[in-house]
């Protein structure tokens, strides 16, 4: 499944690196993001799990991240600043075997940055994100990704409270906008 998905992502124009574990993923990301690059981060547990933010800070990179605000900066400032960073680093909510990726956002900052932000886009994703097709991608978001993100953000949505998704209209929903990446956005290194 991984080989097929990687080959199809490549056919669609995405640059793909397959690694065996979190340590290799971290090392590959540090190889791609240079010391003088300023990467921006849109919330991702996958990126957090490999320790990329800490490794970049330790190396001396300046970063754009909501958890590392400078005096007087707000999360909104960081979201705007991320549009002009050297990289946007995030993950996909789901990746189909056909090589398409899907993200669903509450605010849209992650999607906006990948469409009209930095020249360089780096998605870091585990095999757990791979699904058969787009219907399965939306299902993964409803049953897994959105629920985990709502828990992480402390949201009070039906999926957190033990009920099925139900396409809630709850004001705390994080499923407001969707993006399907069929190919890299024109002119982007993805």
Domain assignment present for residue 188? The answer is: no
Query: In which domain, by residue range, is 98 found?
Result: 2-181
- Beta strands (DSSP E) in the chain are 39-41, 87-90, 94-96, 101-105, 120-123, 130-131, 177-181
Domain assignment present for residue 142? The answer is: yes
Looking at residue 106, what is its pLDDT? 80
Q: What's the token pair of residue 96?
A: 């189909």
- Mean pLDDT estimate for the chain: 89
Residues whose CB falls within 8 Å of the CB of residue 131, separated by 6 or more in sequence, listed in order = 94, 95, 96, 97, 137, 139, 140
Looking at residue 150, what is its pLDDT? 63
- 147: pLDDT confidence band, cut at 50, 70 and 90? low
Domain assignment present for residue 97? The answer is: yes
Q: What length is written for the chain?
A: 190
- Mean pLDDT along residues 11-29: 98
CB neighbour class for 161 (10 Å; exposed up to 12, middle 13-18, buried from 19): exposed
- The predicted-structure confidence for 21-69, as pLDDT tens digits, reads as follows 999 999 999 999 999 999 999 878 899 999 999 999 999 999 998 777 7
- The predicted-structure confidence for 90-123, as pLDDT tens digits, reads as follows 999 999 999 999 998 888 888 999 999 999 999 9
> Which CATH number belongs to the domain containing residue 62 in this structure?
3.40.50.10420
pTM of the model: 0.88
Domain assignment present for residue 189? The answer is: no
Residues whose CB falls within 8 Å of the CB of residue 62, separated by 6 or more in sequence, listed in order = 38
What's the structural domain count of the chain? Answer: 1
């Amino acid at each position: 499944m991984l080989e097929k998905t990687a080959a199809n992502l490549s056919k669609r124009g995405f640059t793909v690196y397959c690694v065996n574990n979190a340590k290799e993923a971290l090392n590959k990301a540090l190889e791609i993001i240079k010391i003088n690059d300023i990467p921006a981060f849109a919330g991702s547990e996958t990126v957090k799990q490999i320790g990329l933010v800490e490794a970049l800070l330790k190396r001396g990179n300046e970063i754009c991240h909501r958890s590392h605000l400078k005096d007087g900066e707000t999360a909104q400032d960081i979201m705007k600043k991320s549009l002009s960073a050297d990289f946007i680093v995030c993950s996909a909510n789901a990746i189909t075997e056909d090589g398409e990726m899907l993200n669903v956002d509450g605010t849209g900052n992650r999607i906006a940055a990948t469409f009209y932000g930095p020249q360089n886009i780096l998605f870091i994703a585990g095999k757990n994100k791979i699904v058969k097709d787009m219907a399965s991608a939306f299902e993964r978001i409803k049953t897994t990704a959105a629920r985990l993100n709502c828990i992480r953000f402390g949201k009070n949505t039906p999926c957190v409270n033990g009920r099925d998704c139900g396409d809630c209209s709850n004001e705390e929903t994080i499923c407001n906008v969707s993006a399907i990446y069929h190919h890299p956005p024109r002119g982007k290194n993805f």
